Structure 1
Amino acid sequence: MKAIISSYLACACVAALAAPTQAMAQQTPPAAPAAQADANEDLASTSDIIVQARRRDERLQDVPAVVNAVTAADIAKLNIRNFTEVQNLVPGLQLSTLPNGTGANAQLRGVNFDINASGNNPTVEFYLDDAPITAGVILQQVYDIGQVEVLRGPQGTLRGRASPSGSITVTTKKPDLNSIGGYVQATANDIGTQNLQGAVNVDVIPGIAAIRVAGLYNVGDANRVRSLDRSYDARDPHTRTASGRVSAIVQPVDWLRLEGMYERFDNNYRNFDQYESYSQANPAAPATTDPLITADARLSNRARPNVVSQLYDIYNGRAELSFAGQQLIYQGQHYTQKIRSAVSQDTANLFPGTDTYQNTSSNISSTSHELRLQNQERVLGIFDYVLGAFDNKNTTPTTLNSPTIVRLPLLFGGGVAALVQTPVARNGRSHEQSFFGNVTAHIGNSTQFSGGLRHISYKDVGNLVVGGNVVLNDSREEKKWIYSASVQHNFTPEIMVYASTGSSFRPGISAIGDFNIASSALERSFINLPAESSKSYEVGLKSTLFDHRAHFNISGYHQTFSNFVYRAPGNGVYYINTVAVRDAQGNVTGTSQQVANFNFVAAVPAEVNGVEGELSVDVTHRFSIGIVASYALGKIKGGTIPCTDLNKDGVPDAVTSAPTLAQLQAATGANNISACKVTQRSSFLPPFSATIQSEYSHPISDHVDAYLRGLLTFNGQSQGDPTNAFDQVGSYGLLNLFTGIRDPRGMWEINLYAKNILNTDKVLTRTTPNSTSYQQLGFGGFGPNGPILTGPTAANTTSSYTTITTTPNREFGVNMVFRFGSH
């Protein structure tokens, strides 16, 4: 592995890797003509980075926090088409979407998050044009983005909702009141992707009103995983995305500014979960006659694909009123999600000829309002302040069917005798209200003290209806104060140190997925959790060196959690599930127990310690180099979690196949499930990660520059589920290279690129062997009317395959951008 990493680093040097993430945060000025560029080669080229981390424009180097920022120019330069690729620029950040299309995850600073466990209140909040929005809407194809800011550490006293690990703000490009402009960008590659996007800006009334229209169309081969068995669905994986956005600004007078935006996003895809033969990870796995599947084959043993459609409508509005050196701002947003998915529940592919889809339908809506007052001119020459109120309502109605297969005796072929569908409905409503304030005192030119408070009032009402019966009524009301405080001191204009502390809060949650009609008290305790709270302490140094040619920043933090939301990983925990038995007319004729698994949750104590740093240098006007790194080690300390514990020793078992019903009954008794006390990592992410970026350009003529840029992303070793001995991930790196020509003024660019050029093929996650649960009929002989079938009894078949995820495919492509006017 060391030899491989050394090779990566050598390639990185040759490719001039390492333009600083920080320097990417603001679009640099257009390059000077060649002669002037040569004359100015020794002048600093790094511009100040402007962010809105504290709800007002500030230089990044002046903010007492760790912020990573990326603009539209950076997204274009690195050909970032899906928002999840932003994680390649921000070490310690992981972005992912769920296979069923119902949500997405963001993980940062050493703790896991799963939207199925606590979707309304994530550890990392997202904001679109200053209003909160779910990750599932953001982690899609991106286009016409102005800036992305990743704010690390507890958030909430200044912005929207409390989040313990950080916030990610996404700002779309705004209309320009004073010019006409736009761009067209096209990408095509060797793995089936065709991406076309663009925008047009028109100053309808110069200086007063403008409109911007942007659009995206993308088609591709989805995850490029195909099925071994193409007799039931011979189509290849496919994805199609179409989106459009209209935004407008009206500023009739200097003291009034109105903004509005509408976006529709339509995404449809069909894919298979990626499989691998278990023997590839576990040499001791039993021999099998099943076809061998390796990770690089990108194959699935499922006969039927996942089919997902997503439709998002977003309405965003803003009004700014300025008076007497103050500013009153209203920010509102309403968005809806219509998500339809069909995911096969026959993960072992035992019944390929039967449609065992779980069909899910979600019609989610969210509305937020924020009103805040803040200064434009410093009060008494000392104070900056922000005061405001926030209101957010969410409704999350979701319906699905839970299929149960009833299997014929093996004597009669072992086919499907019946497929019993149990309807499930989840209805939830949440309402969060808060008021907040933050004050910063500037003591002289060198020292600042800042403090903020937010009072949160949260209400949540929901129920779960299974087969027409209400199995869960959940209602909670919680109130909480959170705080933040910081002090910073500039020893010189170029060197600043800071110390900060803050708290955070997430309401208690109810995990959905256990549809047991006879759940136990212990089982319910692993579904309904109390509120989570956390405290964080951070110190840091920010410096600007060599006449603004370089930046060096470093920070360290310590964070503790009470009632941190732990969610069982992989295939989850095995438990006893009671289901209704129905006749052909759908009438309930009794109940039956079966072995089932679910990713139950638990409230546990946790602690995270970490260090984050970056170093960036503009070596010359045309060559920059830098590195950003993150180390975060989070641990659950003495937490009680749901587990599979067949020998009842209080330690989670490492299981490689589903237990029998009798084994589970003996281990759990009337509890249906086991509990274990553990001390283990709170995150499956690698503790250490880093990115290196760079660009070198050279003039060909007064009108054309050539360039070479690169990105190396390195991830250290990570530990997965402690009960799965075969899901550990060794260290690896991904190298992307870009080369091409461009107009020095930025009006056009043509580049060839290669992502994962070294074709690194690493398994990132691996479940235990897939299994299918069903109800087995027995044979009781022959009667006067034919065979006598007995039962059914619970049964489970484990396959010789596991579900995996891997690093992205190697990708070669071409990208072309043409801009005009203000673009």
Structure 2
Amino acid sequence: MSKKFTRNMMATAVALAVQAGGGYCLAETDDNNFSLEEIVVTAQKREQSLQDVPSTVNAIQGDALTDMKLFNFSDLEQVSPGLELKTIDGRAGSISLRGVDYNPNSAAAAAVDVYWNDVTLGSNASGGVFQEMFDLGRVELLRGPQGTLQGRTSPAGAIAIHTAKPDMEEMEGYVRTTFTGNEGNNTQFASSLPIIPGELSIRVAGVYNTSEMNEVKNYLGGDVSDTETSAGRITVAWEPSDSFAAEFTYQYLESDLNNYTTLTGSSSLGQGLPDLDASDRTGIDAVPDNLHGRYENMALKLDWEVLNHQVTFLSGYSEVSSVRTYDNAMGNSDDSGFTQAGPHPKTGIAGSQLNDPQAMFDQNYASSQELRIASADNEFWDYTVGLYYGNESGFFNRQQMQAIAHPLVAPLNIYADTEVRSPFNIQSYGAFAHNMFYLTDQLTAQVGVRWQRQERTVEGSVFLNEDLSALHPAFPQDAELKQLIADDLETGNSEAWTGSVSLQYAFAEQDISVYASAATSFRPGGVNVAGQALNELTAYNEEDSWSLELGFKSQWLDNRLRLNGAVFHQDYSDYIGRFANINVNATSKPASVTYNGDATIQGVELDFEYLLTESWRMAGGMSYVEAEYKDGVKVPSNESGADCDTSGTMNLCDASGLELGSQAPFTASLSSDYTIPMDAFDVYVTGLYKFTGRRTDADAPSGDLGGYGTFDLHVGLREAAASWDVSLFARNLFNKEATDSMDPETKTFSGVGTGYYKANVIPQRVVGVSGTYHF
């Protein structure tokens, strides 16, 4: 481990020890009988106390998210240090954890998989997850390699979303509406309807949300970004006997997004456009970045108790359909996308436009089935064995204007509407076994193994999207202009074994346990699909990793303080990274490429929850991670120095010590809620502070971005029996301004830089009022 990492780890441990010691003195003087509730999770596919799981797991209750007005999936990072959630162009989302960066446009398997009511989602279904959260039971964040029990192997972790279950005994529900100063309204409802009390019940829930989001204004017209989402869900629970239970959940979500991109910089096009700073929250777009998405999720779970075993069958289905249109030349006021004279007509043959806006079409169908058999409450050995199958298919098509060599007047180019079409099919198979050995009353060993196989077919070609046969018979409608993936690369199979082993020791006299775990993970290789040929860079290799984690879990002060922590190291062979906007040497035009390089990650994580009094609770955590490429690794780059190989399709330059992504190495959060009981109602105050440290960003002009902190405050009044609740709140109370990440300089259709950079800024201060009625 590096000296920097060791120093940071020691400093954190000392700080936490001081904090825990101070809390001990305060709690010793309080004789009230109160304690933290036990947290039950299903991270190992069986109900267990959080403190008994030998790995880092964070459980966030749905009520806690509601109390802090965290309604969007990306808000989870506010209470989960080390987790970064970003919406990528509205149609998909990026989940980064433990320093592992991921871009959903990479076509690679996710570094962090998402599970919805225990079933896997399609790779493009993350766009449906990155929407409104409503009527949740809990969210579990599993950190580290998932190589045994989860539906798919993922190297950095998994997020398990569990929706609220029907009440089997009585009718109950709520209506909640929230208004915010950015023209926002979020209205949610849910109700449980027992059909046969104790045996059959239905729960319905829904949400409607609209707002102007970050209030980014378009300089060309004055419009402001806006979004509208509506969703409904129905859950049916049937428990005809003590030994059988069934649950079916269906959810439909539809969203519309009109987004303008915050730009920073000065125009280099001579068009009289203004100098912009990220704090201006201003874009320059001929049209908004518009996305219409439709997302369906279904999950069926059947549980039988047979001969002291739990037999579980899971079946899931997800469908994604989205259309995105966007400005291809942000920062340019010329709607043709051109800024220079020459053979660049505003319209091509047959009046084709320069595809401004351009369009993307996503269609994704995914299904999965899993069968598990788990022993129950044995004295020495408990086990879980299972089989998994997943099937995913669909297409990703991108329409764009491209230059085509004129067949009669070469080298003159004509410009025509084209479409990159990429149909795919992926089938996944798995078999797994997980064993728990209770060696003594205090010592537990766990051993797991998983076999998996993936069979994929991915195609990619450029087709003519208009009829140019009048110009030349070789150019009819739908003519194939270029094959982007060679025939021998269109199909590929991957097969691997992964596993995990751990030892956990619980001290007899204290409520403390320590553990050591080792695990492996795997991501299959694949192919890049771009608008131009990538030659030897078309395919990327499989990724393998192994990790070691040492941790502790503890409860203090008669279970009023819960304190957990871990230190980890992970080593990657052929880490799958994404490199955006790298110039292709043959064309001088940029493309994004997925590429392999060995890497290493190490870090420390801590979290606590402290009940100071019966009315005052504090919770928080921190994460510090170092994630970088190993010495001697070369990756695609736009540099051309002495340490670069410039002989291939793209320049490959030395990346020794280069950080894997733009995640901040250090993040932390702290929350506190205090309740003042009155006769008929309670007054409460809740605060949430999130700190994001300085981080490297190769796309930022300075090369890095500064750290920042935001503070949320909620003040509310609730009826003593909690039948109603009214609160006033402010997100980012002090209106902190900061840039979270940046993208490279935007360019026109002809490749000329605009002088502007895309800045992803944090949300501005939002003030709101919320009311809830329970029945």
TM range (shorter): 0.7 to 0.9
Q: Within 5 Å, which residues of 2 pair with 1:593-632?
A: 594-632=587-625
Partner Cα separation in structure 1 for residue 39 and residue 559 of structure 2:
12
Q: How far does residue 44 in structure 1 lie from its aligned partner after superposition?
A: 2.6
Are the aligned partners of 1:302 and 1:352 in contact in 2 as well (CA < 8 Å)?
no
Q: How far does residue 339 in structure 1 lie from its aligned partner after superposition?
A: 0.7
SS of the residue 2:662 aligns to: coil
Counterpart of 1:673, as a letter, is: M
* 2:669 matches 1:716: no
Q: How far does residue 235 in structure 1 lie from its aligned partner after superposition?
A: 4.3
Distance 1:290 1:714, change over 3 A: same
Which residue of 91, 101, 109 maps to 1:112? Answer: 101
SS of the residue 2:575 aligns to: strand
Which residue of 667, 688, 707 maps to 1:689? Answer: 667
* 2:483 matches 1:470: yes
- 1:11 is matched with none
SS of the residue 1:642 aligns to: strand
Which residue of 282, 286, 294 maps to 1:299? Answer: 282
Are the aligned partners of 2:137 and 2:164 in contact in 1 as well (CA < 8 Å)?
yes
User: RCO (CA 8 Å, sep 6+): is it higher in 1 or 2?
Assistant: 1
Counterpart of 1:634, as a letter, is: A
- 2:356 is matched with 356
Task: Please list every run of at least 4 consecutive aligned residues from structure 1 whose deviation after the TM superposition is greater than 4 angstroms.
Answer: 285-289
- 1:764 is matched with 740
Are the aligned partners of 2:286 and 2:330 in contact in 1 as well (CA < 8 Å)?
no
* 2:357 matches 1:340: no
Structure 1 unaligned spans of 5+: 1-17, 20-38, 280-284, 408-416, 578-593, 652-666, 775-795
Partner Cα separation in structure 2 for residue 375 and residue 52 of structure 1:
15
Q: How far does residue 406 in structure 1 lie from its aligned partner after superposition?
A: 9.7
* 2:46 matches 1:69: no
- Note the alpha carbon deviations across 1:427-459, whole angstroms, 9 max, x for none: 110000000000101123211000100000111
Q: How many aligned residue pairs are there?
A: 700
Partner Cα separation in structure 2 for residue 462 and residue 179 of structure 1:
50
Which residue of 558, 561, 579 maps to 1:568? Answer: 579
Are the aligned partners of 1:563 and 1:604 in contact in 2 as well (CA < 8 Å)?
yes
* 2:523 matches 1:485: no
- Note the alpha carbon deviations across 1:456-492, whole angstroms, 9 max, x for none: 0111111101121433142111110001010000113
Structure 2 unaligned spans of 5+: 1-18, 21-28, 337-353, 406-412, 464-479
Q: How far does residue 350 in structure 1 lie from its aligned partner after superposition?
A: 5.4
SS of the residue 2:131 aligns to: coil
Which residue of 236, 240, 244 maps to 1:252? Answer: 240
* 2:413 matches 1:404: no
Partner Cα separation in structure 2 for residue 45 and residue 210 of structure 1:
32
Counterpart of 1:573, as a letter, is: I
Q: Within 5 Å, which residues of 2 pair with 1:386-785?
A: 386-404=384-402, 419-467=415-463, 468=480, 469-472=482-485, 473=487, 474-492=490-508, 493-512=510-529, 514-516=530-532, 519=533, 523-569=534-580, 572-576=581-585, 594-637=587-630, 638-646=632-640, 648-651=641-644, 671-679=648-656, 680-701=658-679, 703-721=680-698, 724-774=700-750
Q: Within 5 Å, which residues of 2 pair with 1:81-480?
A: 81-99=71-89, 101-119=90-108, 121-133=109-121, 134-230=125-221, 235-278=223-266, 290-349=273-332, 351-352=334-335, 355-378=355-378, 381-404=379-402, 419-467=415-463, 468=480, 469-472=482-485, 473=487, 474-480=490-496
Q: How far does residue 286 in structure 1 lie from its aligned partner after superposition?
A: 11
Are the aligned partners of 2:537 and 2:649 in contact in 1 as well (CA < 8 Å)?
no
Q: How far does residue 418 in structure 1 lie from its aligned partner after superposition?
A: 6.8
Partner Cα separation in structure 1 for residue 75 and residue 727 of structure 2:
19
Distance 1:470 1:383, change over 3 A: same
Q: How far does residue 357 in structure 1 lie from its aligned partner after superposition?
A: 2.0
Are the aligned partners of 1:742 and 1:749 in contact in 2 as well (CA < 8 Å)?
yes
**RMSD across aligned positions (CA):** 2.3
SS of the residue 1:768 aligns to: strand
Q: How far does residue 278 in structure 1 lie from its aligned partner after superposition?
A: 4.9
Partner Cα separation in structure 1 for residue 152 and residue 291 of structure 2:
29
- Note the alpha carbon deviations across 1:346-367, whole angstroms, 9 max, x for none: 2342532565122111111000
Partner Cα separation in structure 2 for residue 813 and residue 98 of structure 1:
26
Are the aligned partners of 1:434 and 1:456 in contact in 2 as well (CA < 8 Å)?
yes
Partner Cα separation in structure 2 for residue 524 and residue 141 of structure 1:
41
Counterpart of 2:718, as a letter, is: R
SS of the residue 1:161 aligns to: coil
Distance 1:816 1:768, change over 3 A: same
Q: How far does residue 600 in structure 1 lie from its aligned partner after superposition?
A: 1.7
SS of the residue 1:600 aligns to: strand
SS of the residue 1:396 aligns to: strand
SS of the residue 2:151 aligns to: coil
- 1:785 is matched with none
Are the aligned partners of 1:483 and 1:502 in contact in 2 as well (CA < 8 Å)?
yes
TM-score (normalizing by structure 1)? 0.82
- 2:474 is matched with none
Partner Cα separation in structure 1 for residue 382 and residue 722 of structure 2:
37
Partner Cα separation in structure 1 for residue 314 and residue 104 of structure 2:
26
Partner Cα separation in structure 1 for residue 313 and residue 642 of structure 2:
57
SS of the residue 1:602 aligns to: strand
Partner Cα separation in structure 2 for residue 738 and residue 154 of structure 1:
36
Are the aligned partners of 2:291 and 2:325 in contact in 1 as well (CA < 8 Å)?
yes
